[in-house]
Structure 1
Amino acid sequence: MNLRHKDLYIPKEKTEDPFANCKLERKPYAQILTQIVSNYADGFVLAINNPWGEGKSTFVKMWQQQLCNEGYTTLYYNAWENDFEKDVLVALISELAEIKNKPVNTFNKVIDKVVPLTSKLLPLIAKHMAKRTIGDEATNSIIEGVVEYGAQELKDEIKSYTSKKKSIQDFKDTLEVFVNEVGKEKPVIFIIDELDRCRPNYAVEVLEQIKHLFSVPGIVFVLSIDKIQLGHAVKGVYGNDNIDSNEYLRRFIDIEYSIPVPNKRLLCNYFYEYFEFSVFFKTTYRERRNNNDSYNFIELSHKLFSKTNLRIRQIEKIFAHARLALKSFGNKETVFPKLFLLLIFLKNHHSNIYNNIKVKKYTLQELIDTFENLLPNKITDDEYSNPILYTIVELAVFYHNYYQKENHPKLNVLKKDNELKETLAFNSKFDKSENQQILIGHYYNLKRKYILENLNIHSLIKKIDLLEPIS
């Protein structure tokens, strides 16, 4: 059984589809991006901007292979794995060295031109050029934090500035010749991944090097980023919250693209299969009992996660946790899969609510209100008729039994009012039926199957917290 999702296998053969194992139907987006880079071969910076945990790395690796299959020269650089490297310029040039069948003589010329740019004066030039990018006011703030140079050293730097500026242009001219020879009428695609996870200084330096040294016709940079996190890095480096990080990044990024949010049903079905839930739910004993646990588990996952903003990796971790916790259930133990999944969701993403349940902080109505407030209000009644409303009933019954103390007066979840009408001891904003008849029907359905007094949320919590033996 897998506890962690492994990298998807991406076929390397040109005759195979790099997206063959993609369960999120993202191939069309790669085709659109290929059309973009093919139509603007003069060179630009493309940012694929999605939050962390949305599968950007897997997507760009698949797209890279698709580009290779179509005859593009591509490079992939994981900035986070390489931010130990002090000199960004050396790291980026080293990636160019990895190009197969490159024109050796031209590449050696690129190396010759890069040597004068690796001295301590390069950061000074970058700061000078940054003035054009972020403006005078922000530049003045930056200068205040820069270590002062001695008078003589400053004179030497000023004297050498003109020659350094020429060295930069010589490097760019030589690089342009190189990438045009390599690309053969197609742009070289240089993918930089995980930039937003790097040390802030390193991330900003990568951006500045791309802008000031590598922006030449014939090379397209693809930045796989979380723009919000990268913006925090920019502000951290320059030590000034007055800097408009969006404006700063806009100067580096020419086109911004976001991969659409995946279909949550496809995602849940994939993780259900990947983590082999059917091995547990489809045992002979459970099948013989005509058990619907498998259906109930996946049905609630579709509804619950389609109404929340969880990312791919967050949903993956919920499924992994659930699969591990299931190993503590005996063959004849009932899982109550909907409530089980709901509690794991709360533990992983609303731990304060989960912990308050454990210490019996909520009244029954407070708990129902707290859970329902996690979900959007504007939902049709039929969407909540099943399975969310059924899960609410299970939550109420299981928590109510756990909440009661020995000397506490009993309060049934279902009671009769003065007119002897059956009513619930709590209200749900999602049950729009008269007198909450849908919830009452679910209550009786649960009562037909189980002895309600024996249902206690503490038994599920122990398994979810991994406090019982695992088989």
Structure 2
Amino acid sequence: MNIKHYEIEVEPENPFANCKLDREKYSDILTNIINSYPYGFVLALNNKWGTGKTTFVKMWEQNLKNNNFQTLYFNAWENDFENNPLTALMGELKTLTTKETEPAFKKTLKKASTLTKHIAPIIAKAIADRYIDTEGVKDAIIGVTKGLSDVFENEVNEYQKKKKSISDFRQSLSEFIASTNEEKPLIFIVDELDRCRPNYAVSILEQIKHFFSIPNIVFILSIDKEQLGNAIKGVYGSDDIDADEYLRRFIDIEYSIPEPEVDIFYKYLYEYFQFDEFFQSPERLRSYELKSDKSNFLETCKLLFTKAKVPLRQQEKIFAHSRLALRSFTENMYVTPHIFLLLVFIKIRHNKFYEELKSKHLAIQELQEKFISIIKIEINGGTERQLMWLEISLINIYNNFSQDRYYRKNLFEKDEESGENKALISSIIKKDSEKEVMHILENIDRGHREGDLDLMHYTKRIDLLEDMKT
């Protein structure tokens, strides 16, 4: 049984063979864009964290290789220990060298060295101006010992040298790239840019623009634009910075990988983590009231994951934790999949609410308000009934947990005049729905011992406080 979702294998001959989201068609679209504009540009793949960008770009990279493109994959987050991105980027380019192209690369490397020498004093001064107030310390760091006129003259000369250094470097780099892969641009993929140190991320963008904007290099930036925008604001120390406008300076084309089709990913995870070994075991199927557990679980997955648009990476985490927690349930024990999965969902995505539930300090109305605030699912004809079941089921187990069994307040009572049961709680999902609420409560109560289960029945297993069954 798997308790972790391992990185999907990229098969060299068929890179998208293991793609469960049918994304090969998007790689074909992007490759056609490159073929249409082969002279060099910057393409941003903009999707939220956890949507599978890294897996996609690795599959696409292999697909590009299979079509005779030269590629480089650079994980910015793994390499932000290096203070100067130019060093890291040149290190990646070095991997392209052959015996024939090594002289051209060494020439480019020498130009990069000269470039670094001319921009280093400017960087040092900028850092000193920003972080150091004492002029004496500044002078010591920068080495300013001449008169103001000498300093100005020196800065003008450095400016000219800097401009020439950048021009020489770009010319040399362009010649090197042209010698490595005839008639096709180099595809330079920069991944996890939004996860690395903000100043490092901004520095990479600046250096790509100023030093690497040459023919025959296509940069692919795999980013979460919103998070990268926050990093930019942090570096410049102002929320008033227009991050979108700033990024337009660097990005020529922006593309977002479309959301996967409904149902695909959670059904794949259900199979990957082998939930059928539990829900469809012969022992559980012998019990009539447990036979619908699989369908109950999958219907709740569809509601929570597709309607609330939970990132794929968080879906993986919820599935992995759910499967591990199920190992502490016996073969004939009630799981009540919709409430079990809801609680794992809350623990992973809204842990503060999860801990509040366990504290017993919430009033039922507070519980309902927090529930509706964290679910973030549109209430309509297709979701209303399921959401009410989740809401009332959560109230029931919380009510059973938060009060002593012998002094517990009932959630419904029999009306003396009509002789029918009457709900003592209302729904936050649907107003004026007393009959629907009562119907749900009666069904929960009718489920043998299921109506008496409390929050602790689930949380002590979700928190891995019970022994696991072999």
Whether TM exceeds 0.5 here: the answer is yes
2:445–2:451 CA contact under 8 A, matched in 1: no
Per-residue Cα deviation, 1:17-68 (whole angstroms, up to 9, x for no partner): x111111122222122112122112211111112221211111111111111
Kept after mapping to 1: 8 A contact 2:368/2:428 = no
Give secondary structure in 2 for the equivalent of 1:423: strand
Q: Residue type matched to 2:171 in 1?
A: D
Q: Deviations over 1:193-248 (max 9, x none)?
A: 11112122222221111111110011111111122222232233333444333322
Give 1:106's aligned residue. 104
- CA 1:416 to 1:431, structure 2 compared with 1: closer, same or farther past 3 Å? farther
Amino acid at match of 2:358: K
One-letter code aligned to 2:346: L
Q: What does residue 402 of structure 1 align with?
A: 401
Amino acid at match of 1:9: E
Residue 415 of structure 2 aligns with which residue?
416
Q: 1:172 deviation in Å?
A: 0.8
User: 1:246 and 1:377, CA in 2 relative to 1: closer, same or farther beyond 3 A?
Assistant: closer
Question: What CA RMSD, in Å, does the superposition of the two structures yield over aligned residues?
Answer: 2.7
Output the CA distance in 1 between the equivalents of 2:258 and 2:180.
Answer: 33
Go from structure 1 to structure 2 and tell me whether the alpha carbon gap of 1:143 and 1:231 turns closer, same or farther (over 3 Å shift). farther
Provide closer, same or farther for how the CA distance between residues 376 and 57 of structure 1 changes in structure 2, counting only shifts above 3 A: closer
Q: What is the match of residue 352 of structure 1? A: 352
Count of residues in Structure 1 that have an aligned counterpart in Structure 2:
454
- Point out the more displaced range, 369-378 or 85-94: 369-378
One-letter code of the match for 1:249?
A: L
What SS is found at the alignment partner of 2:96? coil
Uncovered stretches (5+) of structure 1, i.e. residues with no partner: 129-138
Aligned with 2:19: secondary structure? coil
Q: Rate the CA distance shift 1:236–1:106 in 2: closer, same or farther, 3 A.
A: same
1:322/1:464 contact within 8 Å kept:
yes
Partner of 2:210: 212
* Cα distance in 1, alignment partners of residues 362 and 463 from structure 2: 20
Following the alignment from structure 1 to structure 2, what is the Cα–Cα distance between the partners of residues 415 and 305? 38
Find the aligned partners of 1:123 and 1:115 in 2 and give their Cα distance: 11
Q: In the aligned structure 2, how far is the partner of 1:449 from the partner of 1:406?
A: 18
Shift in Å at residue 142 of structure 1? 9.9
**Equivalent pair of 1:50/1:227 in contact (CA under 8 Å):** yes
Aligned equivalent of 2:52 = 55
Instruction: For 1:90, give the aligned amino acid.
Output: T
Q: Of 254, 257, 260, which residue of structure 1 is paired with 2:258?
A: 260
Once the 2 structures are TM-superposed, how far is the Cα of residue 414 of structure 1 from its aligned partner? 5.0
1:271 to 1:253, Cα distance in 2 relative to 1, 3 A:
same
CA distance in 1, matches of 2:50, 2:422: 44
1:134 paired residue number: none
Query: How far apart, in 1, do the equivalents of 2:433 and 2:203 lie?
Result: 63
What is the deviation of 1:163?
2.7
Output the CA distance in 2 between the equivalents of 1:265 and 1:205.
40
2:135 — aligned with what?
none
Q: 1: distance between equivalents of 2:417 and 2:446?
A: 26
Name the structure 2 match of 1:292: 292
What aligned pairs does 1:166-181 form with structure 2 within 5 A after superposition? 166-181=164-179
1:72 matched residue in structure 2: 69
Contact 1:38–1:187 (CA under 8 A) maintained in structure 2:
no
Question: What SS is found at the alignment partner of 2:50?
Answer: coil
Q: 1:390 to 1:453 in 2, by over 3 A?
A: closer
Name which of 21, 24, 38 aligns with 1:41: 38
**1:57–1:214 Cα change, 3 Å:** same
Deviation at 1:339, TM superposition (A): 0.6
1:337 shift after superposition: 0.9
Q: Distance in 1 between matches of 2:262 and 2:325?
A: 22
Q: Which residue of 2 aligns with 1:132?
A: none
- Tell me what 1:461 maps to: 459
Q: Which amino acid aligns with 1:68?
A: K
Shift of 1:407: 6.3
User: d(CA) in 1 for partners of 2:258 and 2:226?
Assistant: 17
How far 1:284 moved relative to its partner? Answer: 1.6
Cα 1:410–1:232, aligned 2, differ >3 Å: closer, same or farther? Answer: closer
Length-normalised TM-score, structure 2: 0.88
User: Residues of 2 paired with 1:254 and 1:151: CA distance?
Assistant: 44
Structure-2 change in CA distance of 1:322 and 1:464 (3 Å): same
* TM-superposed deviation, 1:144: 4.8
**Contact kept? 1:142, 1:238, Cα under 8 Å:** no
Report the CA distance shift for 1:124/1:312 in structure 2 as closer, same or farther (over 3 A): farther
1:295-335 CA-to-partner distances (Å, cap 9, x unmatched) read 21111011122222421111211111111111111222111
Q: Which amino acid aligns with 1:404?
A: Q
Quick one: structure 1 residues 464 and 243, their matched pair in 2 at CA, closer, same or farther if it must change by over 3 Å? same
Q: Distance in 2 between matches of 1:420 and 1:365?
A: 27
SS in 2 for 1:48: strand
The answer (yes or no) to whether the contact 1:300–1:388 under 8 Å persists in 2 is: no
Instruction: Give 1:7 deviation, angstroms.
Output: 0.9
Deviates more, 1:103-112 or 1:54-63: 103-112
1:250 to 1:145, Cα distance in 2 relative to 1, 3 A? farther
The residue number in structure 1 matching 2:379 is: 379
SS of residue in 2 equivalent to 1:381:
coil
Tell me the residue number matched to 1:135. Answer: none
Matched, 1:370 2:367: no
Report if the CA contact (8 A) 2:325-2:461 is conserved: yes
Identity of aligned residues (%): 44
Who is 1:136 aligned against? none
* 2:374 match: secondary structure: coil
Equivalent residue, structure 1, for 2:331: 331
Partner SS, residue 75 of structure 1: strand
Q: 2:278 aligns with which of 280, 293, 314?
A: 280
Cα distance change, pair 117–279 in 1 and its aligned pair in 2 (3 A): same
What amino acid sits opposite 1:31 in the alignment? Answer: D
Deviation at 1:358, TM superposition (A): 1.3
Deviation of 1:342 after TM superposition, in Å, equals 0.6
Identify which range, 456-465 or 151-160, moves more after superposition. Answer: 151-160
Query: How far has the Cα of 1:450 moved from its partner?
Result: 1.1
Partners of 2:192 and 2:216 in 1: how far apart? 23
